[in-house]
Structure 1
Amino acid sequence: MPRWKPDARERLVEAALDLFTEQGYDETTVAQIAERAELTRSTFFRHFSDKRELLSAGQEMLSALLAEGIAAAPDDATPLEAVAAGLDRAAGAMTEFNRGIGPRMHAAIEANEELRARNAMKSIGLAAAMAEALQRRGAAESVARVAAELGVLAFGIGYRRWSAPARDEAPGELVTYTREAFAELRAAAAELR
């Protein structure tokens, strides 16, 4: 099997999503994923510990990008402004590959209870990274947690809209979608008074 082709990690994700769509998550094996990607099983295990990890690939990087954006926000930024900076940083790093796999990844996760639970844990991890970054900036824990949860929700909404735009809508930048979602959530939160 040719191992010299670039982008092994992306090829593995693409192959897995194809197989999950064709035959289901539970019926798909690591060997099948590696074969579809034209890679070896050992190459698969260099990138992922198991097939579940394929669907949360990039979580650590995303958490780091969100936290970096929050840390880089101006010193006088409010917690919500800092979260917006984190969203901009993370959204700016997403590529066309990320957009292309969104709907298939969402479908694979929704079709499997274990994956839904794992995805919920991913959201908790992203919120924790953002809340910690906000607390390092001096935000109170409760304020940091609420702002972080809004940020995670905005990123999820923005990502879904970006990766599956309406038929008559050309996909713009993810930053635009996350900003719009965050503005909507901030307005909704203001109505909770």
Structure 2
Amino acid sequence: MGRWEPNSRGRLEQAALELYGERGFEQTTVAEIARRAGLTERTFFRYFADKREVLFAGAASLEALFVSTVSGAPESAAPLDAVAQALEVVAGAFQERHAYARERQKAIIANAELRERELIKLASLSAALADALRLRGVAEPAASLTAEAGVAVFKVAFERWIEEENERDLWHLIQESLDELRAVMAGN
């Protein structure tokens, strides 16, 4: 290995995405990812438990961002409005990672195990949002329904965003999805 270079985690993520795109997830090894990044397997395992986690390492941070924003919303905010505030903050966090998000999603879509892991991540996010809403005093089933709706809005908008060639930002697409949800709920 050469001399130390910064951003080992980012280099491992980038190397993994490149290899997953070139060879597929199943055919890519941790050793190949580390080699492509110019690092050792030992360094890889300092950051990630396995090659799957390269794609999901940010899930806990995403969940924490959602929950902290919902928790910090004004007490007067309706449940869906508190979730909308969280969606806006999350959209800002994703905006500079459009190319990465697109490549990550391609890798996930191409592998059943990764699609399953993505669904587990979204279910965990929904449960955490419901907990945050219950702590705000939202009763059941409203807390769970609102959390599920918020995750659905995020998922639909995110999928549209990664399909587009950066025409519109993620927050714009989230707003459109929220408007559609509100129209459906109003019976329009």
For 2:65 and 2:115, locate their aligned partners in 1 and report how far apart those are by CA, in whole Å. 23
SS in 1 for 2:142: helix
For 1:117 and 1:37, locate their aligned partners in 2 and report how far apart those are by CA, in whole Å. 27
The reply to whether residue 183 of structure 1 matches residue 182 of structure 2 is: no
Note if contact 1:102-1:160 (Cα within 8 Å) is conserved in structure 2. no
1:83-102 matches, within 5 Å, as 83-96=83-96, 98-102=97-101
TM-score, normalized by length of structure 1? 0.89
Cα displacement (A) at 1:189 = 3.4
Superposed CA deviations along residues 90-113 of structure 1, whole A, max 9, x for unmatched, are 2222252x2111222122111111
Cα displacement (A) at 1:191 = 3.0
CA RMSD of aligned residues (A): 1.8
Note if contact 1:158-1:181 (Cα within 8 Å) is conserved in structure 2. yes
Superposed CA deviations along residues 112-162 of structure 1, whole A, max 9, x for unmatched, are 111111111000011111111100000012111111111111112222333
Cα 1:82–1:12 change in 2 (3 A) is same
SS in 2 for 1:15: helix
Superposed CA deviations along residues 36-84 of structure 1, whole A, max 9, x for unmatched, are 1111111111111001111212110000110111111111111101111
Structure 2 residues without counterparts, runs of 5 or longer: none
For 2:3 and 2:116, locate their aligned partners in 1 and report how far apart those are by CA, in whole Å. 33
Note if contact 1:69-1:90 (Cα within 8 Å) is conserved in structure 2. no
Note if contact 1:12-1:34 (Cα within 8 Å) is conserved in structure 2. yes
For 1:6 and 1:111, locate their aligned partners in 2 and report how far apart those are by CA, in whole Å. 31
For 1:133 and 1:12, locate their aligned partners in 2 and report how far apart those are by CA, in whole Å. 33
**2:107 equivalent in structure 1:** 108
For 1:187 and 1:94, locate their aligned partners in 2 and report how far apart those are by CA, in whole Å. 26
For 1:191 and 1:2, locate their aligned partners in 2 and report how far apart those are by CA, in whole Å. 63
For 1:154 and 1:10, locate their aligned partners in 2 and report how far apart those are by CA, in whole Å. 28
**1:170 equivalent in structure 2:** 167
For 1:175 and 1:71, locate their aligned partners in 2 and report how far apart those are by CA, in whole Å. 20
SS in 2 for 1:25: coil
| Overall identity of the aligned pairs, in % | 45
Note if contact 1:12-1:44 (Cα within 8 Å) is conserved in structure 2. yes
The reply to whether residue 45 of structure 1 matches residue 42 of structure 2 is: no
**1:137 equivalent in structure 2:** 136
**1:146 equivalent in structure 2:** 145
Code of the residue aligned with 2:51 in structure 1: it is K
**1:27 equivalent in structure 2:** 27
**2:80 equivalent in structure 1:** 80
TM-score, normalized by length of structure 2? 0.91
Cα 1:3–1:142 change in 2 (3 A) is farther
Code of the residue aligned with 1:190 in structure 2: it is A
